[in-house]
C-alpha cells in the first residue's frame, strides 16, 4: 500500500507545481486519509519541499476505523493546546523556504485561512481547489474491494431485517437495529445515518426516522450503508407491508424501478453525468412526476458517502471506468408515501460485463 499512497501524493505535488506552488496543505479529512493512509481528528498533511508531514493534535490511534498512517509520512503530534495544525504546517512550510502554499479554500474557513496568513505573511496562499477530490473519483481495485465488502455487509444487514417481524415497530428502532447489524457483520460503522420511512414518510430522501410504527398496507423504505476500512456504500429499497400491495403501490414501484434500471443501464465509460441523470429522470417526468423529484439521481461514493461526481441535470463531465456511483431515483407523494430504489455500482466497460452491481439485494417488490 505504501507505494499507492506515495504515488497519490506525487500526483498532487505535480498538480501543485504546475499551478505554481511547490508546497500544498491538505486539510479536508477524507483527502488527508486518501493521501496519508489515516486522518486522526484534525490532522493536516503538508506536501512538497522535504518529507511529507502529517501534523496532528493527538497521536494516531491506529484503530481500524481511523486507518494507519503510511510509513513514508512523518508524523508530528503538536504539544497539548498547540493550536491549529494547519497554522503549524504553514510555519513549517516557511521554515523550509516555501514561497507559496496551495490550500483547500473550499474546506478552510475564512478565519483559519486568515490565521495561516498572519503566521506566514510572506507566504503566498494559492488555491489547491478540488485537486485531491478529482484524484479520488477513479478508484483502484483495492478501494473497490473495500466498497464491495461494505456493500456485502449492508446487504446482509438488510436481509436479516427482512426476516424479522416489522409491523408495530418504529422507524427509529428499525434504523438502530440495522446499524447494530452492520457492526455485527464487521463494518467500522454506518456510512451515514440510516433512514427508515413508513407510510407517508416512505420514499423521502434522507428522511430521519421518527416514532411512527410500521402498519399493514404501508410502503417501507430503508436506506443504509456500511463503512469498511473507511469506504462507504449505500443501498436503498422499498417494500410493502402486508399480503397484497394496492394498485397505486404496484404502479409507483414499477415506475421507479424502470427509472432506476434506465439509470443503471446508462452507466458506461464516456457517458455524460447529466445523461445518466436524464435517463432515469425522464422515465419519472414522462409519467407526470415533475414536481418534488430529488435534485440528483446519484453521486460518487468512496471515503465520503457523497462525493464527486454528481449525476444531476447541470453536472459537467463524463464517467470513467472504475468510478463507483449510486443510482437512486425516487418519488414521494405528499401524504401517501413513495418509493426509492438505490444501488451502488462501479462503472465498467461493456467488454468487462458492464456496470458492476455491488448491492445485490433483490429489487422485486417484496410484500413483507
Q: Which residues bind its own copies (CB under 8 A)?
A: 41, 61, 63-66, 80-81, 103, 105-111, 113-114, 127, 172-173, 176-177, 179-180, 183-184, 206-208, 210, 293, 295, 312-314
Closest CB to its own copies among residues 171, 342: 171
Smallest Cα–Cα separation from 205: which of 281, 309, 301, 292? 292
Which CA distances in Å does 136 have to 68, 123, 207, 326? 18, 28, 28, 16
Q: List all residues 6 or more positions away from 154 whose beta carbon is below 8 Å from its beta carbon.
A: 182, 187, 191, 224, 225, 226, 233, 234, 235, 359
* Per-residue cell: 287: 409519467
Shortest distance in whole angstroms from residue 340 CB to its own copies: 15
104: left (phi over 0), alpha (psi -120 to 50) or beta: beta
Q: Which residues pair with 101 in a beta bridge?
A: 23, 125
DSSP 29-88: HHHHHHHHS---TT-EEEESSSS-EEEESS-----TTT----TTSEEEEPPTT---HHHH
Shortest distance in whole angstroms from residue 322 CB to its own copies: 27
Shortest distance in whole angstroms from residue 106 CB to its own copies: 4
Shortest distance in whole angstroms from residue 186 CB to its own copies: 9
Closest CB to its own copies among residues 178, 365: 178
Closest CB to its own copies among residues 117, 354: 117
Burial of 198: CB neighbours in 10 Å, binned 0-12, 13-18, 19+: buried
Shortest distance in whole angstroms from residue 52 CB to its own copies: 23
Closest CB to its own copies among residues 163, 211: 211
Shortest distance in whole angstroms from residue 70 CB to its own copies: 20
Shortest distance in whole angstroms from residue 129 CB to its own copies: 9
Closest CB to its own copies among residues 111, 243: 111
Closest CB to its own copies among residues 52, 342: 342
Q: Say if CB 342 and CB 353 are below 8 A apart.
A: no
Closest CB to its own copies among residues 177, 356: 177
Closest CB to its own copies among residues 9, 136: 136
Shortest distance in whole angstroms from residue 110 CB to its own copies: 4
Amino acid at each position: 500500500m505504501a507505494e499507492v499512497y506515495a504515488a497519490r501524493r506525487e500526483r498532487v505535488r505535480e498538480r501543485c507545481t504546475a499551478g505554481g506552488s511547490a508546497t500544498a496543505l491538505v486539510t479536508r479529512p477524507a483527502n488527508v486519509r486518501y493521501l496519508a493512509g489515516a486522518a486522526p481528528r484534525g490532522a493536516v498533511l503538508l506536501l512538497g519541499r522535504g518529507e511529507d508531514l502529517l501534523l496532528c493534535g493527538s497521536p494516531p490511534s491506529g484503530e481500524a476505523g481511523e486507518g494507519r498512517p503510511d510509513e513514508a509520512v512523518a508524523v508530528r503530534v503538536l504539544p497539548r493546546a498547540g493550536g491549529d495544525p494547519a497554522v503549524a504546517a504553514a510555519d513549517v512550510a516557511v521554515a523550509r523556504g516555501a514561497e507559496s502554499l496551495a490550500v483547500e479554500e473550499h474546506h478552510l474557513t475564512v478565519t483559519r485561512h486568515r490565521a495561516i496568513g498572519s503566521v506566514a505573511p510572506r507566504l503566498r496562499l494559492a488555491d489547491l481547489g478540488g485537486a485531491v477530490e478529482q484524484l479520488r473519483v477513479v478508484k483502484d481495485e483495492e478501494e473497490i474491494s473495500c466498497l464491495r465488502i461494505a456493500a456485502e455487509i449492508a446487504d446482509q444487514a438488510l436481509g436479516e431485517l427482512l426476516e424479522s417481524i416489522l409491523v408495530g415497530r418504529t422507524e427509529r428502532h428499525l434504523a438502530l437495529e440495522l446499524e447494530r447489524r452492520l457492526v455485527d457483520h464487521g463494518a467500522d460503522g454506518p456510512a451515514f445515518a440510516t433512514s427508515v420511512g413508513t407510510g407517508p414518510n416512505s420514499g423521502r430522501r434522507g428522511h430521519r426516522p421518527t416514532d411512527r410504527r410500521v402498519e399493514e398496507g404501508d410502503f417501507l423504505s430503508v436506506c443504509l450503508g456500511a463503512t469498511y476500512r473507511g469506504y462507504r456504500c449505500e443501498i436503498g429499497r422499498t417494500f410493502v407491508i402486508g399480503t397484497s400491495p394496492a394498485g397505486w403501490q404496484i404502479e409507483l414501484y414499477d415506475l421507479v424501478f424502470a427509472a432506476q434500471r434506465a439509470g443503471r443501464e446508462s452507466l458506461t465509460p464516456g457517458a455524460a453525468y447529466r445523461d445518466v441523470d436524464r435517463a432515469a429522470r425522464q422515465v419519472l417526468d414522462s409519467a407526470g412526476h415533475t414536481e418534488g423529484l430529488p435534485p440528483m439521481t446519484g453521486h460518487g461514493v468512496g471515503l465520503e458517502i457523497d462525493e464527486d461526481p454528481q449525476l444531476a441535470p447541470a453536472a459537467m463531465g463524463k464517467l470513467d471506468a472504475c468510478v463507483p456511483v449510486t443510482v437512486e431515483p425516487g418519488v414521494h407523494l405528499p401524504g401517501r408515501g413513495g418509493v426509492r430504489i438505490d444501488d451502488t455500482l462501479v462503472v465498467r466497460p461493456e467488454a468487462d460485463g458492464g456496470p458492476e452491481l455491488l448491492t445485490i439485494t433483490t429489487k422485486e417488490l417484496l410484500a413483507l
